[in-house]
C-alpha cells in the first residue's frame, strides 16, 4: 500500500519531469513568445509606465496583463522562465547519454557492416597489401582524422574518426540561450539605466531613472566641460561631442575624456553615452530694435542684464531662455522671455521667439518699437544616457557560444570512415570504402568521393 | 556614368535573366538556361560595380561611407546577396529550375529600389549613430541571412506545387525531385539562421556601444526575434518531430513573411527603429 503510493508519487513527478523535458513544450513556449511579441509591437509600449486600473473592462484587463509594458510583465517573464526550465530539464535528460557517447572510443566495426553501409564503394587495385594500408592511412589522416588499423588474417580495416565532440555542439547552443536569459536577469536586478542633462560648466551626480522610477546617485560627479555639435553642409549632424570630467565625492578630478556617439566613457562599470543635446541658456544675446520710423539698431548684452533703449529711455531685461517654448499649444522653438520697463516704470512682458521675428511686432502696442532676437550664443547642455549593466558579460559570452555552437551543429558532424582491404586470389586488393555520420550525410558522401579519388591516384 | 545609372541597367539585366530562366524551364531549352546564367552573372558583376562606384562617389562628395544605410542602398545590396547566393547554389547543384522562381525575387528587390518614386537614390551623409564599423557587419550579415531565407522561400513554393515524384503532369515535373527541394530548403534555412543570428547579435553589440542597451524591444528588433524564433521552431520540428515536406515548406514560407515584415512592415508600426531609415 505504502509502497504503491510512493511509486505513484514518483510516477507523477516523473510525468511532470518528462513534460518539462519535452520538445513539444518548447515549441509551444517559443510560439507563444513569438505571438505575444507580435502583440507587443502592435500596442505602443511605454516601459515603466504603470497605468492604474481604470473603469472599463478593457482597461482592467490591460492593466492586469501589463499590455503597455508587456516585455516586463509577470506573464512574459514567466514564459521566459518556462523556456529556461524546459531547456535545463531537457539537457539534463539527454546530456548524460551523449556524454557517454563522446567519452567512449567506438570499436571498429566488422567487415560485414562496412560492406553493408549504404554509401559503400567497392573497387579493386593491383597492388601490395602493405602499400595499400599505408595509402589508406594517409588518405584518412590527411583529413584531420584520428586513424587506426585492425588486422584480421588477410583482411585489414583502416578506420578514421572525426569530431565526436561535435555532438555537444547543440548543448552549446542551448547553454548560450540560458546565458542570454541569465545575463538579462542579472542586468535587470543589479543594473540601472537613466538620463541626465548637464549644461556646459555644470556638474551632476544624480540621474533620472528610465520609466519614471526615481533618481539614482552614481557615486561620482560628472562635469560637462564643453559640448560641440558639427554639421554637414546640408544640415545633417556630423558629430556630437562632450568633454566630460569625472569627480569623486570630495570634488577631486578623476579623469577627463571626450565622448561621442558610439564612443562612450566607462568608469567603475558605469557607462556614459552621448545621447542628446540642447540649448540650456544663452551666453550672450544680440537684439534688434526696430522703431516705427528710422533705422533699426543692434545691441549686444547678456541675459538678466538690462539693455537701455536709446529712443525711449526705458530698458529691456531678458530673464529666461527656453529651448522649446510653448504658448497656447504652439511650439515657438528657442525663445527669450523677459520684460520691457518704460521710463515711467510700466512693465510689459516680452516673448521673443528666435524663429518668429514678427511675433513681437504684432504685440508691440504703444511701446513704439519692435524687438527681434538677432542672434545669440548658445550655452549647450549635453544629454547623457548613464547605465550600468553587470549582465553584459554573460550576454556576450552567450552570443559567442551561440555562434560557435550553431557553426558546429550545422556544419560539422561526427564522422567515421572505413577502408576495408581484402586480398584477392589474383594478388590484387579489393577496397571497400564507406562511412557513417550523425548528420550531414551529403557532406560525408562528397568527402568519400574525394578519398576514393586519392586512393585510386597512385 | 554614375552608380544610379549602372544600377538601373542592372535592373533590366536581372529582369531579362529571370525571364530567360522561366522560359528555359517552361520550354525545356538547356541552352537558354546557360544564357540565363550568363546574364545573371553579368547582372551580379554590374550590381557589384554599381555598389563599389556608389561607395567611391560618396568619397568624392566628402561623405565617405559604405552604401548600406538607407532603403535604396539596402535593396540594392539585398539583390546583390541574393544573386551571389543563388549563383553559388546553382554552381554547387548544377540545376537551374530554381532560377525560374528565385530570379524574379532578385529582380524585384532592385526594381523596387530603382523604379519606385518614393525611394530616393541620393547619397546622404551618415548621422553620428550610424558611424560605426558595426553598421557594415550588421547589414551584411542580416542581408546574407535574408537571402538564405528568400531562397528557402522559393524552394518551398516549388516543393508545394510539385505534383510528386513519378507523376507526369507537364511543366511542374521538370523540377528537381521533392527530396532535393526539401533538402535545399533546409540548408538555406540553416544558412539563413546562422547569419540572422549573426545579424541580431552584431546589431545588439552595436546598440550597446552606441547607447548602452543591447536590447530594447523596439519593433524592428522584436520582429527580427520573432523571425528567428519561427526558424528555430522549424529546425526543432524537423529534427525532433521529423517533419519534412509540406509542413516544413509552410513554416519556411511563414518565416519569410516574417522576414519581409521585419524589413518593410515595421515602418507602419508605432515607434521606429531607433537607427532610422530601415
Ligand atoms: C531559443 C531557444 C532555442 C534555440 C535557439 C535552439 C536551437 C537549437 C538548434 C540550432 C538545434 C539543432 C537543430 C538541428 O540540428 O537541425 C537544436 C536542437 C535541439 N533542441 Fe533546441 N533550441 C532552443 C530551445 C530548445 C528548448 C527549450 C528545448 C527543450 C526541450 C530544446 C531541445 C532541443 C533538442 C532536444 C534538440 C535536438 C538535439 C539533438 O540533436 O539531439 N531546444 N536546438
The one-character DSSP state at A263 is B
Same domain, B29 and B85: yes
B166 — pLDDT class (breaks 50, 70, 90): low
pLDDT at position B277, please?
A: 31
How many other C-beta atoms can be found within 10 angstroms of the C-beta atom of residue A94? 14
> Cβ of A396 and B205 within 8 Å?
yes
Q: Name the minimum distance, in Å, from the CA of B255 to any CA of chain A.
A: 11
Tell me the percentage of chain B whose pLDDT exceeds 90. Answer: 57
pLDDT at position B188, please?
A: 96
Spell out the residues 6+ positions from residue A154 whose beta carbon is closer than 8 angstroms to its own: A422, A423
Same domain, B209 and B256: yes
Same domain, B47 and B135: no
A15-46: per-residue pLDDT in tens? 888 888 888 999 999 999 999 999 888 887 77
**Helix, strand, coil % in chain A, rounded to nearest 5:** 35, 40, 25
Distance CA A295, CA A279 (A): 31
pLDDT at position B270, please?
A: 57
How many other C-beta atoms can be found within 10 angstroms of the C-beta atom of residue A275? 20
pLDDT exceeds cutoff 60 at A2: no
Same domain, B136 and B260: yes
> Cβ of A234 and B125 within 8 Å?
yes
Mean per-residue pLDDT for A92-116? 88
Virtual CA dihedral for B126, B131, B134, B135, nearest 10 degrees? Answer: 0
A36-A41-A46 Cα angle (round to 5)? 105
Q: Are B231 and B149 in contact (CB under 8 A)?
A: yes
A245-255: per-residue pLDDT in tens? 999 988 899 99
Please state the separation of Cα A83 from the chain's center in Å: 20
Q: Are B22 and B100 in contact (CB under 8 A)?
A: yes
Q: How far is the CA of A170 from the centre of ligand 1 (A)?
A: 7
Mean per-residue pLDDT for A347-374? 83
Domains of chain A, first to last:
2-93 (no CATH), 105-163+413-457 (3.30.310), 191-280+382-389 (no CATH), 284-374 (no CATH)
pLDDT at position A242, please?
A: 92
The one-character DSSP state at B269 is S
Q: What is the predicted ipTM?
A: 0.91
Same domain, B81 and B144: no
pLDDT at position A91, please?
A: 92
Query: How many structural domains compose chain B?
Result: 2
Same domain, B54 and B114: yes
B169-182: per-residue pLDDT in tens? 666 667 888 888 99
pLDDT exceeds cutoff 90 at A86: yes
The one-character DSSP state at A292 is S
Q: Which of B126, B143, B160 is the last residue of a domain?
A: B126
Closest CA to B194 of A155, A428, A406: A406
Q: Are B178 and B162 in contact (CB under 8 A)?
A: yes
Residue B150 grid cell: 528568400
Whose CA is closest to atom 38 on ligand 1?
A170
pLDDT at position A365, please?
A: 67
pLDDT at position B275, please?
A: 36
Closest CA to A301 of A288, A311, A290, A313: A288
Same domain, B114 and B159: no
Q: Is A176 in the pocket of ligand 1 (CB under 6 A)?
A: no
Tell me the percentage of chain B whose pLDDT exceeds 70. Answer: 92
pLDDT at position B172, please?
A: 62
A198-247: per-residue pLDDT in tens? 998 889 988 998 877 788 888 899 999 989 988 888 777 888 899 999 99
Of the listed ranges A126-135, B76-85, B144-153, the one predicted with least confidence: A126-135
Q: Are A423 and A111 in contact (CB under 8 A)?
A: no
Mean per-residue pLDDT for A68-94? 91
pLDDT at position B276, please?
A: 34
Of the listed ranges A4-8, A112-116, A332-336, B148-152, the one predicted with least confidence: A4-8
Same domain, B148 and B213: yes
Radius of gyration of chain A (CA): 38
B83: helix, strand or coil:
helix
The residue that leads in pLDDT, A153 or A31, is A31
Mean per-residue pLDDT for B156-177? 75
Distance CA A378, CA A384 (A): 18
A421: helix, strand or coil:
strand
Residue A98 grid cell: 551523449
Q: Which of B78, B100, B126 is the last residue of a domain?
A: B126
Residue-wise DSSP of B181-242? HHHHHHHHHHHHHHHHHHHHHHHHHHHHHHHS-S----HHHHHHHHHHHHHHHHHHHHHHS-
Distance between start and end Cα atoms, chain A:
76
A113: helix, strand or coil:
helix
A385-413: per-residue pLDDT in tens? 999 999 999 999 999 999 999 999 999 99
The residue that leads in pLDDT, A289 or B231, is B231
Same domain, B184 and B58: no
Q: Which of B67, B99, B126 is the last residue of a domain?
A: B126
How high is the mean pLDDT of chain B? 87
Spell out the residues 6+ positions from residue B38 whose beta carbon is closer than 8 angstroms to its own: none
Same domain, B211 and B103: no
B247-260: per-residue pLDDT in tens? 999 999 999 999 99
3-state secondary structure B42-75: HHHHHHHHHHHHHHHHHHHCCCCCCCCCCHHHHH
A338: helix, strand or coil:
strand
Distance CA A170, CA A404 (A): 10
Q: Name the minimum distance, in Å, from the CA of B14 to any CA of chain A.
A: 31
> Cβ of B128 and A239 within 8 Å?
yes
How high is the mean pLDDT of chain A? 87
Q: Is A86 in the pocket of ligand 1 (CB under 6 A)?
A: yes
Mean per-residue pLDDT for A2-8? 66
Could you tell me the CA-to-CA distances from A136 to A163, A180, A431, A455 in Å, in that order? Answer: 19, 46, 10, 7
Q: Measured between beta carbons, which residues in chain B are less than 8 angstroms from residue A184?
A: 215
Q: Among A37, A234, A402, whose Cβ lies nearest the Cβ of B226?
A: A37
Mean per-residue pLDDT for B180-186? 91
Closest CA to A282 of A336, A351, A338, A227: A336
pLDDT at position A53, please?
A: 60
Mean per-residue pLDDT for B74-93? 95
* Segments forming the whole domain that contains residue B101: 1-126
Mean per-residue pLDDT for A71-84? 91
Buried b (16+ CB within 10 A) or exposed e, B219-236: bbbbbbbbbbbbbbbbbb
Burial of B146 per CB tally in 10 Å (0-12, 13-18, 19+): buried
> Cβ of A273 and B211 within 8 Å?
yes
Q: Among A260, A395, A407, whose Cβ lies nearest the Cβ of B128?
A: A260
Q: Name the minimum distance, in Å, from the CA of B69 to any CA of chain A.
A: 14
Residues forming beta bridges with residue A376, ordered by sequence position: A285
Q: Is the pTM of this model over 0.90?
A: no
pLDDT at position B66, please?
A: 85
Phi-psi region of A440 (alpha: psi -120 to 50; beta: other; left: phi over 0): left
A75-A78-A81 Cα angle (round to 5)? 160
Please report where in the chains the cell 564599423 appears, as a residue. B133
Distance CA A270, CA A393 (A): 14
Q: Are A331 and A312 in contact (CB under 8 A)?
A: no
pLDDT exceeds cutoff 60 at A258: yes
Could you tell me the CA-to-CA distances from B217 to A174, A277, A302, B204, B210 in Å, in that order? Answer: 22, 24, 45, 11, 16
> Cβ of B194 and A407 within 8 Å?
yes
The residue that leads in pLDDT, A231 or B75, is B75
Same domain, B273 and B153: yes
Q: Give me the CATH number covering residue B7.
A: 1.20.120
Q: Are A314 and A340 in contact (CB under 8 A)?
A: yes
Q: Is B240 in the pocket of ligand 1 (CB under 6 A)?
A: yes
What crossing angle do the helices spanning B97-115 and B133-161 adopt, rounded to 10°? 130
B94-B98-B100 Cα angle (round to 5)? 120
Same domain, B200 and B77: no
Please report where in the chains the cell 585510386 appears, as a residue. A456
The residue that leads in pLDDT, A221 or A144, is A221
Pocket test for ligand 1, best of A19, A22, A26 (most atoms within 8 A of CB): A26
Residue A232 grid cell: 554637414
A168-172 CB contacts, 8 Å cutoff, 24+ apart: A168/A98, A168/A102, A168/A408, A169/A405, A169/A406, A169/A407, A169/A408, A169/A409, A169/A412, A170/A405, A170/A409, A171/A91, A171/A95, A171/A98, A171/A405, A172/A401, A172/A402, A172/A404, A172/A405, A172/A408, A172/A409
Distance CA A213, CA A192 (A): 10
The one-character DSSP state at A234 is T
pLDDT at position B65, please?
A: 82
Amino acid at each position: 500500500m505504502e509502497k504503491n503510493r510512493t511509486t505513484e508519487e514518483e510516477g507523477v513527478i516523473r510525468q511532470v519531469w518528462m513534460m518539462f523535458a519535452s520538445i513539444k513544450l518548447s515549441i509551444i513556449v517559443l510560439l507563444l513568445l513569438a505571438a505575444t511579441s507580435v502583440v507587443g509591437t502592435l500596442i505602443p509600449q511605454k516601459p515603466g509606465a504603470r497605468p492604474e486600473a481604470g473603469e472599463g473592462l478593457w482597461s482592467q484587463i490591460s492593466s492586469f496583463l501589463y499590455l503597455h509594458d508587456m516585455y516586463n510583465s509577470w506573464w512574459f517573464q514567466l514564459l521566459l522562465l518556462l523556456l529556461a526550465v524546459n531547456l535545463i530539464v531537457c539537457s539534463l535528460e539527454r546530456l548524460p547519454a551523449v556524454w557517454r557517447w563522446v567519452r567512449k572510443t567506438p570499436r571498429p566495426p566488422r567487415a560485414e557492416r562496412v560492406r553493408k553501409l549504404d554509401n559503400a564503394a567497392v573497387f579493386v587495385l593491383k597492388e601490395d597489401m602493405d602499400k595499400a594500408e599505408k595509402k589508406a592511412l594517409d588518405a584518412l589522416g590527411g583529413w584531420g582524422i584520428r586513424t587506426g588499423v585492425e588486422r584480421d588474417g588477410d583482411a585489414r580495416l583502416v578506420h578514421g574518426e572525426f569530431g565526436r565532440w561535435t555532438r555537444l555542439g547543440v548543448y552549446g547552443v542551448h547553454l548560450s540561450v540560458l546565458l542570454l536569459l541569465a545575463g538579462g536577469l542579472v542586468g535587470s536586478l543589479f543594473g540601472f539605466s537613466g538620463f541626465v542633462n548637464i549644461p556646459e560648466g555644470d556638474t551632476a551626480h544624480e540621474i533620472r531613472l528610465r520609466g519614471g522610477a526615481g533618481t539614482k546617485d552614481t557615486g561620482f560627479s560628472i562635469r560637462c566641460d564643453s559640448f560641440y555639435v558639427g554639421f554637414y553642409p546640408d544640415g545633417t549632424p556630423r558629430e556630437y561631442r562632450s568633454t566630460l570630467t569625472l569627480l569623486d565625492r570630495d570634488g577631486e578630478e578623476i579623469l577627463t575624456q571626450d565622448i561621442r556617439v558610439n564612443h562612450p566613457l566607462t568608469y567603475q562599470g558605469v557607462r556614459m553615452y552621448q545621447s542628446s543635446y540642447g540649448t540650456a541658456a544663452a551666453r550672450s544675446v544680440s537684439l534688434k530694435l526696430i522703431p516705427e520710423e528710422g533705422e533699426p539698431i543692434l545691441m549686444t548684452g547678456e541675459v538678466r542684464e538690462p539693455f537701455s533703449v536709446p529712443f525711449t529711455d526705458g530698458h529691456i531685461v531678458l530673464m529666461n531662455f527656453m529651448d522649446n517654448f510653448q504658448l497656447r499649444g504652439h511650439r515657438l522653438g528657442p525663445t527669450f522671455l523677459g520684460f520691457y520697463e518704460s521710463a515711467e516704470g510700466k512693465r510689459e512682458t516680452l516673448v521673443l521667439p528666435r524663429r518668429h521675428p514678427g511675433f513681437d511686432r504684432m504685440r508691440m502696442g504703444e511701446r513704439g518699437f519692435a524687438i527681434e532676437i538677432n542672434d545669440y550664443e548658445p550655452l549647450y547642455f549635453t544629454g547623457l544616457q548613464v547605465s550600468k549593466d553587470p549582465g553584459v558579460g554573460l550576454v556576450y559570452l552567450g552570443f559567442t557560444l551561440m555562434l560557435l555552437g550553431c557553426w558546429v551543429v550545422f556544419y560539422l558532424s561526427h564522422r567515421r570512415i572505413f577502408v576495408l582491404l581484402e586480398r584477392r586470389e589474383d594478388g590484387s586488393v579489393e577496397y571497400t570504402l564507406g562511412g557513417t555520420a550523425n548528420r550531414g550525410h551529403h557532406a560525408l558522401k562528397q568527402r568519400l568521393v574525394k578519398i576514393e579519388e586519392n586512393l585510386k591516384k597512385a | 556614368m554614375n552608380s544610379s545609372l549602372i544600377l538601373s541597367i542592372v535592373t533590366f539585366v536581372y529582369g531579362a535573366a529571370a525571364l530567360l530562366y522561366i522560359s528555359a524551364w517552361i520550354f525545356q531549352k538547356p541552352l537558354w538556361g546557360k544564357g540565363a546564367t550568363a546574364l545573371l552573372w553579368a547582372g551580379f558583376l554590374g550590381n557589384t560595380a554599381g555598389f563599389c562606384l556608389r561607395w567611391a562617389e560618396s568619397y568624392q562628395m566628402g561623405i565617405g561611407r559604405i552604401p548600406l544605410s538607407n532603403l535604396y542602398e539596402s535593396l540594392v545590396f539585398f539583390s546583390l546577396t541574393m544573386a551571389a547566393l543563388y549563383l553559388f547554389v546553382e554552381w554547387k547543384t548544377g540545376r537551374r529550375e530554381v532560377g525560374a522562381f528565385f530570379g524574379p525575387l532578385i529582380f524585384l528587390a532592385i526594381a523596387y529600389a530603382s523604379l519606385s518614386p518614393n525611394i530616393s537614390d541620393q547619397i546622404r551623409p551618415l548621422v553620428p549613430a550610424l558611424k560605426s564599423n558595426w553598421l557594415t557587419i550588421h547589414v551584411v550579415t542580416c542581408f546574407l541571412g535574408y537571402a538564405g531565407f528568400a531562397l528557402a522561400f522559393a524552394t518551398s513554393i516549388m516543393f508545394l506545387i510539385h505534383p510528386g515524384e513519378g507523376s507526369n503532369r507537364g511543366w511542374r515535373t521538370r523540377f528537381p525531385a521533392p527530396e532535393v527541394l526539401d533538402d535545399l530548403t533546409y540548408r538555406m534555412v540553416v544558412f539563413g539562421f546562422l547569419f540572422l543570428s549573426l545579424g541580431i547579435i552584431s546589431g545588439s553589440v552595436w546598440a550597446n556601444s552606441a547607447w548602452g542597451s543591447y536590447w530594447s524591444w523596439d519593433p524592428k528588433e522584436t520582429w527580427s526575434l520573432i523571425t528567428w524564433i519561427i526558424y528555430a521552431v522549424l529546425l526543432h520540428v524537423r529534427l525532433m518531430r521529423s517533419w519534412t515536406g509540406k509542413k516544413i515548406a509552410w513554416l519556411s514560407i511563414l518565416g519569410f513573411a516574417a522576414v519581409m515584415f521585419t524589413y518593410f512592415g515595421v515602418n507602419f508600426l508605432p515607434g521606429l527603429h531607433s537607427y532610422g531609415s530601415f
